[in-house]
Amino acid sequence: MKKITAFEKKGKSIWVTVDGHAFSVEPEMIIKYHLKAELEMEDKTYQAFIADNQYLQCLRLSFVKLKKMLTIAELKNILSTSSFPIGIQKQVIHYLIEKKYLDDYVYAKMYLEQKKTKEGPEMLKFHLQQKGISPDILEKTMSHYREDVIIQELMEKKLNTPTKKPKRAYMMQIKQQLIAKGFHREMIESCMMSHEDLLENKDQEIIHVYGQKIIKQYQHKLTGYTLYQKIKEKLYQKGFAYEDIKRYLETIDLQSW
């Protein structure tokens, strides 16, 4: 037999004391078990009360954590650090899955939609695996993923952005950025070949600006062919194409310097 020796409200919570041990109870428990001071319960009833109360408290904690979308594995990990018995944790997880509060496929699809332009396919799969997404769900989710379409979208956005970089250097920068995000090199290069024309070629205009800077930097140190080679070298390092450099050099006269 168990007896509630104290029944009091502390803030928004109700606390009871049984055998010198005080703990909070969920509001539903007050009605279901007619809780009050001096109430006596058979041991079997008391154990059911404790289990019911823990279940509701565990469920309430889960709903708080689910304000941020979680995978099943993530919530399990959170609950594993709580004091709730493992049996209670499993009951809560089962309920949340049954009621669709936890749905790994929905989570994976939303993650894919949010991250598809920030992470390549291998990185996406790696992060979803870390979050506990099963191989079956991962395969089902990635079956809707079109790497070529996403690369094209990213590339078109980049190529339509004004730049002062030479075309070759800018294309290389875009390529490295996409590789760093985890997209496949072969797919990037394939898409790049079909989208180069989207970058308006202003290299002949830009090359004159860079060329004049190089000439001013070296004209007092170098002359003639040596200066010619230095300009050619520096422009190539900047990312200009060999044909553009050649055309530029044909427009200047270094013999007088």
CB 168 within 8 A of CB 241: yes
Report, as an integer, the average pLDDT of 45-49. Answer: 95
pLDDT digits (tens, 9 = 90+) for 106-138: 999 999 999 999 999 999 999 999 999 999 999
Q: CB–CB of 171/192 below 8 Å?
A: yes
- Flag whether pLDDT at 191 surpasses 90: no
Short-list 247, 171, 160, CA closest to 211:
247
pLDDT of residue 221: 81
> Has residue 84 got a pLDDT over 50?
yes
State CA 7 to chain mean position distance: 47
Coil, strand or helix: which one is 202? coil
| Percent of the chain whose pLDDT exceeds 70 | 93
For the chain, strand residue ranges (E) read 2-10, 13-18, 21-25, 40-41
- For the ranges 99-108, 171-180, 199-208, the one whose mean pLDDT is highest: 99-108
pLDDT at 255 over 60: no
